[in-house]
């Protein structure tokens, strides 16, 4: 029986309009009532998911959320218990590389989004608005003094892909690097990933990984899909991810998360 369901947000739980369908709300509520842990697993910081947690009634002390693509695992009430951050040296090295190749960059902390770019990148503004966090322009050295959860290089798809080709190879060894959307390249502590966070949380709750379902659609979901005993990929998900899926559920436009929970979780509880 599935005891924990880790669910990505954008492209997965949220529909194409970034809304939660009535079907998804109902399925999540039924699963929680059955005792299943529903864990939102996202690249966003906690302020960017508070409204979603409220809408899904996942705000109790016993509810958990994985933020910053696994950089932080915390209770829905805010208490942190797994944290993997970046160092000041990490930030300065990433900032120097971004300047050299001409990509906008920003760092995300629990307090806000910080960029050294006075001509603030379009996707930095978009990220701040989406995750509902304040945006600050600061000198690189000032940003280095902060506790950084993750760093993002952001630009139009073609410019970002061109820039990636010029990044030092050692960055891909040194950090957990994920391209979460065509416009976002994210850098996190090597120990931080959705997969490691899901694994640590399952261990904390004394669940076997065979009792874990993960639902996702993008490359930054791969690590949790690989550790979960029941990996589920959205119909709108990446083709490569579907190769490692136990199940393919409906698209996010058709409440695929609800379908997955109803078919492959709740039926075992109703038997």
Instruction: Write the pLDDT tens digit of every residue in 227-242.
Output: 999 999 999 999 999 9
**Secondary structure (H, E, C), the chain:** CCCEEEECHHHHHCCCCCCCCHHHHHHHHHHHHCCCEEEEECCCCHHHCHHHHHHCCCCCCCCEEEEHHHCEEEECCCCEEEECCECHHHHHHHHHHHHHHCCCEEEECCCCEEECCCCCCHHHHHHHHHHCCCEEECCHHHHHCCCECEEEEECCHHHHHHHHCCCCHHHHHHEEEEEEECCEEEEEECCCCHHHHHHHHHHHCCCCHHHEEEEECCHHHHHHHHHCCEEEEECCCCHHHHCCCCEEECCHHHCHHHHHHHHHHHHHHHC
Q: CA 81 from chain center: how many Å?
A: 17
Confidence of residue 82 (pLDDT cuts 50, 70, 90): confident
Question: How many independent structural domains does the chain possess?
Answer: 2
Average pLDDT, the chain: 95
The pLDDT score that the predictor gives to residue 223 is 95
Active site residues: 8
Q: Does position 245 have pLDDT exceeding 80, yes or no?
A: yes
148 and 194 part of one domain: no
The pLDDT score that the predictor gives to residue 181 is 87
Average pLDDT of 105-117? 96
Confidence of residue 271 (pLDDT cuts 50, 70, 90): low
Q: Does position 87 have pLDDT exceeding 70, yes or no?
A: yes
180 and 200 part of one domain: no
Range of the domain at 216: 2-81+190-267
214 and 260 part of one domain: yes
Q: Does position 81 have pLDDT exceeding 90, yes or no?
A: no
Q: Which of these three, 162, 187, 212, is where a domain ends?
A: 187
- pLDDT one-digit tens code per residue, 162-195: 999 999 999 999 999 988 889 999 999 999 999 9
Q: Which of these three, 168, 187, 206, is where a domain ends?
A: 187
93 and 127 part of one domain: yes
Confidence of residue 80 (pLDDT cuts 50, 70, 90): confident
Confidence of residue 78 (pLDDT cuts 50, 70, 90): confident
223 and 204 part of one domain: yes
Q: Which of these three, 170, 187, 204, is where a domain ends?
A: 187
90 and 175 part of one domain: yes
* Buried-exposed string 225-263: b where 16+ CB fall within 10 A, e elsewhere: bebbebbbbbebbbeebeeebeeebbbbeebbbbbbbbe
- pLDDT one-digit tens code per residue, 248-258: 999 999 999 99
142 and 215 part of one domain: no
179 and 108 part of one domain: yes
Whether the model pTM is above 0.95:
no
């Amino acid at each position: 029986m599935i005891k924990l369901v880790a669910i990505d947000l954008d492209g997965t739980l949220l529909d194409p309009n970034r809304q939660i369908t009535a079907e998804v709300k109902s399925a999540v509520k039924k699963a929680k009532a059955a005792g299943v842990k529903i864990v939102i697993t996202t690249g966003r910081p906690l302020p960017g998911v508070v409204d979603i947690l409220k809408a899904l009634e996942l705000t109790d002390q016993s509810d958990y959320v994985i933020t910053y693509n696994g950089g932080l695992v915390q209770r829905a009430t805010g208490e942190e218990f797994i944290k993997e951050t970046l160092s000041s040296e990490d930030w300065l090295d990433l900032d120097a590389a971004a300047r050299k190749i001409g990509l906008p960059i920003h760092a995300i902390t629990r307090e806000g989004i910080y960029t050294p770019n006075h001509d603030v990148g379009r996707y930095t503004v978009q990220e701040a608005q989406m995750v509902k966090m304040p945006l600050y322009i600061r000198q690189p050295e000032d940003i280095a003094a902060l506790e950084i959860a993750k760093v993002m290089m952001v630009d139009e798809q073609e410019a970002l892909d061109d820039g990636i080709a010029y990044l030092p190879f050692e960055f891909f060894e040194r950090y957990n690097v994920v391209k979460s959307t065509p416009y976002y390249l994210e850098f996190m502590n090597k120990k931080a990933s959705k997969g490691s966070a899901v694994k640590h949380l399952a261990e904390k709750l004394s669940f076997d990984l065979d009792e874990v379902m993960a639902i996702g659609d993008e490359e930054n979901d791969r690590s949790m899909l690989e550790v979960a005993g029941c990996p589920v990929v959205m119909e709108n998900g990446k083709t490569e991810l579907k190769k490692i899926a136990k199940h393919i559920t409906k698209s996010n436009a058709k409440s695929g998360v609800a379908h997955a929970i109803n078919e492959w979780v709740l039926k075992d509880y109703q038997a």
